[in-house]
Structures are given as structure tokens and as C-alpha cells.
Amino acid sequence: MSKEKRQIDAQTKVEDEAVSNFREYLRIPSVQPDVNYDSCVTFLKDQAKRLGLSFRVYHVTPRKPIVILTWEGMQPMLPSVLLNSHMDVVPVFPEKWTHPPFSAYKDENGRIYARGSQDMKCVGIQYLEAVHRLRNAGIRLHRTVHISFVPDEEIGGKEGMKKFVHTSEFMELNVGFALDEGMANPTEEFLLFYGERCIWHMHIHCPGSPGHGSLLLPDTAGEKIRVIIDRFMDFRQSELAKLANDPTLDLGDVTTVNLTCLKGGVQSNVVPPELVVVFDIRLAPTVDHDEFEHMVQQWCTEAGPGITVEFEQKCSKVEVTQLDHTNPWWLAFKAACDELKIKLKPQIFPAATDSRYIREVGLPALGFSPMNYTPVLLHDHDEFLSEDVFLKGIEIYEKIIPAIANIPK
């Protein structure tokens, strides 16, 4: 059979309704910046009607809807389960894609190409389809399950989950435990995230003596910024060495430092009155924040007088979710995975998700996207998810959701 014929067959054969719903969701271009979420809300309202779930939309911020679909449990007074996903996706460069990024094109191998196929529209639909199958099978759960679709996670969630967890509407959901996004993994294992590093975006302002570029002026901004950059880069190398020397460590177990911006100067023959260097820092959960900040202040003192530190973002330390006998949600989750004979690899998430806001208000949360044997393509060109992996994920949630929603009081 020719490649062209296989492609035609892949596009025209009858596919699982869950896959069709997934592809329909992917075709909604909810791309940052300035997302119009109206089409997502309409789509999810139709899904709620199809599944027989209650449907609510909250607006903590105008034009930033938070959509909640609810399956009420037999004991609704018990703390509920929250299944969270975000509606927005990151920008695309269409010329770099093999297929249009919002076409949800499916090739002859069942790979579905679209922005959001991994991050994370897949998970939102997998939640819905797993609930659909459970309800069709006549299954009732003890605890209420809320399926949330939130805005703006890809730009920090400041107008989404960050604010929502502090509202009376969120309190009324009576959440006891949450699932959120994870990440694909090329191997057999499924990644499970029980914590995240803290984001610090630091602007180091280095003032100095201005003047003509032909002079050797004392106390220049350039001299100071050199010391600052050296100290941060030396620290970066020490964290790289930790990773290289200890195979049990993953990226989330160390602190990353990256120089992302250099600012200052007016022209090539003028010594500037100030130079600014910007660092993206992700603090590992084991780092003492006060000690780290004191270390940075010491570096600034060593570099010279007048240096100041400005924080663009400074996340507070958030405790990780415990993976031990003290956490019944984890025990139920793990038992369901053991029954399915799937291998979990617990990690600290190297970047940031909305889970941090859930954990920040004292609730346990796990990040899990059931995508093994899948290359990591979130935010990349030609992001795709295989149809088989997507459908297998629904089966996995069919086991996990009842397990965590039937934990006894």
C-alpha cells in the first residue's frame, strides 16, 4: 500500500469518539497571548451536556474563565477530587511545522499533530472520557469529582489558578486532593511529579562611574557585573557537577541558573551609568531560601558598592506532596498503577505548573500525564501524541479516578 493511500485511510476510517473529541478540542486555537476562551467554554459546555455533568464558569478576572464540570459523589460532604488541566497553549511558528499546528492532523501511524496535544489538552479530554466510560458502566463514586479547565497557565497562571484557590468558590468545591499535568517520557516509565522547584527571576542592577570609553575609570558597572556573572555561573557549574556525579538525581533535584538578559549602555564609546543582568533561577525543594538570598547578597557586596537586587518573580517555598503511608491519596493512586502494572518514576517537576498554587494552600497534588514511549515535545515544533497512547491514558484514568474517589473517610 502506498504512503498516500495509508494517509487517506488514516484520515477517513472511523475513529474512536474520544479521539474525535480530542482532535476537535485541539483545533481550537487557544494560543497565547491574548487568548479568547469563548470557543473552549462552548466546547466544554457541550461535553458536560454529553456526559450529564453539572457545568459552571467562574471569572476571577474578566475574560479569564475557569470552567468546572462536576460529577457528584454518593457522599458529597467528603473532601472532593480535583482533576485539573489548562486550556491555553504556547505560541507556534507555523512555518516550522510539518502540518498546520491547529489542524490536529493524524498521520498513517496514528500520530496526532497539534499544539497542545501533549501540553495539555490531552489530559483534559482523557479525564472527561474516563468519566464518560465509568458513568456508562453504571459506576458510582463516594467522593465528588470536579474537572477543572483553567486559563493562562502558560503565562504563570496569575489570573487563573493562582487567584482561584483563594476564592470562596474554590473553597466550596471542598477539594481534598488534585491531579494536574505531568510530562511525556520516551521510555517505558510514567513520570509522576510530587513537587516543583521555586521560580526566582532576579534583576541585578550594577551602577558605576560613567564616562568616555577611552578612559580607565574606577568603579564601573562593567567591573561589577563581571563579578556577579562569574559568581552565578560558578554556582551553575557546581549544580551541573552534582547532576554529573550522582546518577540518582534528576533535573528537578538541583537548582538551575540561566543568564537570560543583559541590559544597559547607549553607544560603544560611552561607559554606562548602569548595567543590569537578569537570571532565571529555579530553586530545588531542598534549598533554604533565606540562605540562598543571603549568598546572592554576599556576591553583590563582593562585586562593589551600590548593587541592588530586583525580583521580577519570587515564589515562596512550597512543601512537596508526601509519597508515603501518611498520604492516603498517594497510596490509592499507587495501588491503581500497580494493578495496571505501570511503572512510575517519581520526580520533582523541573519547570512550573498550576500544582504549585494548589500545594501552596495546603492540598496534596500530583502531576501526571500518562504518556510513555513518547518524545518530549511540549512547546516544540511538530508536537504530537499517538492515538494509541492517548487511548491508553483513558484506560489508566478509568482505574485511577475510582481509586482516589473511593478512599474511605
pLDDT digits (tens, 9 = 90+) for 194-207: 999 999 999 999 99
C-alpha cell at 99: 502540518
The CA radius of gyration of the chain, in Å to the nearest whole number, is 24
- The band of 5, judged by pLDDT with boundaries at 50, 70 and 90, is very low
Residues in the chain: 409
Specify the pLDDT at position 2: 53
Task: Summarize the confidence of residues 17-32 as an average pLDDT.
Answer: 98
> pLDDT tier at 7 (50, 70, 90 boundaries)?
low
Cell readout for 403 is 481509586
> What is the structure's pLDDT at 409?
85
373-399: pLDDT as tens digits: 999 999 999 999 999 999 999 999 999
* DSSP letter (8 states) at residue 31: B
Cα separation of 397 and 393, whole Å?
6
What is residue 12's predicted lDDT score, i.e. its pLDDT?
53
Residue 23 bridge partners (DSSP):
none
Q: What is the pLDDT of residues 239-291, one digit of tens each?
A: 999 999 999 999 999 999 999 999 999 999 999 999 999 999 999 999 999 99
Domain 3-196+320-405 part of CATH 3.40.640.10: no
Buried b (16+ CB within 10 A) or exposed e, 223-235: bbbebbbebbeeb
Q: In the predicted model, is pLDDT for residue 192 greater than 50?
A: yes
pTM to 2 decimal places? 0.92
DSSP 364: -
Confidence of residue 4 (pLDDT cuts 50, 70, 90): low
Q: Which residues are catalytic?
A: 88, 153
Intra-chain end-to-end CA distance of the chain, in Å: 58
- As to burial, measured by CB atoms within 10 angstroms (0-12 exposed, 13-18 middle, 19+ buried), residue 355 is buried
Is the CB of residue 225 less than 8 Å from the CB of residue 330?
Answer: no
- What value does the mean pLDDT of the chain take? 96
Residue 9 has pLDDT above 70, yes or no: no
Residue 331's CB is within 10 A of a number of other CB atoms, namely: 16
- Distance from C-alpha of 148 to C-alpha of 153, rounded to nearest angstrom: 13
- What integer is the mean pLDDT of 325-354? 97
Q: How many CB atoms lie within 10 A of CB 155?
A: 14
Tell whether the model's pLDDT for residue 335 goes beyond 60.
Answer: yes
Please state the rounded mean pLDDT for residues 150-175. Answer: 98
**Whether pLDDT at 1 is above 70:** no
Residue 40 reports pLDDT greater than 90 = yes
Q: What is the 3-state secondary structure (H, E, C) of 158-198?
A: CCCHHHHCCCHHHHHCCEEEEEECCCCCCCCCEEEEEEECE
Q: Where are the domains of the chain?
A: 3-196+320-405, 198-284+286-314
- State yes or no: pLDDT of 306 exceeds 90: yes
Topology of domain 198-284+286-314, CATH: Alpha-Beta Plaits (3.30.70)
Q: Are 317 and 289 in contact (CB under 8 A)?
A: yes
Tell me whether residue 383 is exposed, middle or buried, using C-beta atoms within 10 angstroms of its C-beta: 0 to 12, 13 to 18, 19 or more: buried
178: nearest Cα among 399, 404, 352:
404
